[in-house]
Amino acid sequence: MLLELDGLTGAADPLAAVLVWRAEQAPLLGAGKRVVAGRREAPPEVLPYRRFLVDERWEVWIGRNDRENDELTHKAAAPDDWWLHAQGVPGSHVVLRAGGRPEQVPRQALEKAASLAAQYCRARNSGLVPVVYTLRKHVRKPRRSPPGLAACTHEKSLMVPPGVMPGVAPLNADEAGDPRP
């Protein structure tokens, strides 16, 4: 390949010659990625969080890692959304979208979201898992804390079995199978 490029230095338009050579070698170089106007085609957009729909109305977002947990809790969630987390164990941050009206979210929907929080934590193999919940406006990030750490006030607790309860449907195509991380 280097020998083929050496012959291009004397070409009238070296850039055009390199682009022609690159197009010929595309299967070897780009593994089949399309190049349009000198730019790679953007990869398909990956949804940033796990997403579920509870009772065909309430959307639930679940972080996949510490960075996503931070972004979900402190940037994406609205102040009046419900925030849930398994108590005392590492796990995903879970946000139940309330649409600005947290008082209208039924307790059953909150329990189903808590069950998802229990599923995406280290205690997922327990019979019942304590899950704390509060409004997102009562959750803060302690100063100089690592990603994924949050402190909350005004929290309440639910004891729920881990899992995906009836009435909960995944919105992400990759979540349709096994719901574990």
71 with 24, same domain? no
Calculate the CA dihedral of residues 15, 20, 22, 28 and round it to 10 degrees.
-170
9 with 91, same domain? no
pLDDT of residue 172: 75
Domain hosting 29: range is: 2-40
How far is the C-alpha of 99 from the C-alpha of 110, rounded, in Å?
A: 14
How far is the C-alpha of 96 from the C-alpha of 114, rounded, in Å?
A: 9
Pair 80, 101: CB distance under 8 Å? yes
Grouping H, G, I as helix, E, B as strand and the rest as coil, residue 134 is strand
Grouping H, G, I as helix, E, B as strand and the rest as coil, residue 140 is strand
- Kindly state whether residue 90 falls inside one of the protein's structural domains: yes
Pair 63, 49: CB distance under 8 Å? yes
Who has greater pLDDT, 30 or 81?
A: 81
117 with 36, same domain? no
Q: Enter the pTM of the model.
A: 0.71
27 with 67, same domain? no
Region 82-86: mean pLDDT is 97
How far is the C-alpha of 102 from the C-alpha of 86, rounded, in Å?
A: 20
pLDDT tens sequence across 88-101:
999 999 999 998 99
134 with 65, same domain? yes
- For β-strands 35-36 and 39-40, DSSP reports them as antiparallel
pLDDT of residue 40: 64
Grouping H, G, I as helix, E, B as strand and the rest as coil, residue 169 is strand
68 with 20, same domain? no
pLDDT tens sequence across 21-77:
777 776 666 545 555 566 666 655 556 789 999 999 999 999 999 999 999 999 999
93 with 131, same domain? yes
Overall number of domains in the chain: 2
Under the banding of pLDDT at 50, 70 and 90, the label for residue 16 is confident
pLDDT of residue 130: 96
115 with 135, same domain? yes
How far is the C-alpha of 62 from the C-alpha of 92, rounded, in Å?
A: 6
Region 131-159: mean pLDDT is 94
166 with 130, same domain? yes
Region 7-13: mean pLDDT is 62
Nearest Cα neighbor of 55 from 132, 113, 115, 109 is 109
Pair 117, 84: CB distance under 8 Å? yes
85 with 161, same domain? yes
pLDDT of residue 112: 95
| Residue 6, token pair as written in the block | 């050496």
20 with 58, same domain? no
Grouping H, G, I as helix, E, B as strand and the rest as coil, residue 57 is coil
10 with 97, same domain? no
Bridge partners (DSSP) of residue 39 are: 36
- Kindly state whether residue 180 falls inside one of the protein's structural domains: no
Does residue 160 carry a pLDDT above 90? yes
Please give the mean pLDDT across all residues of the chain.
84
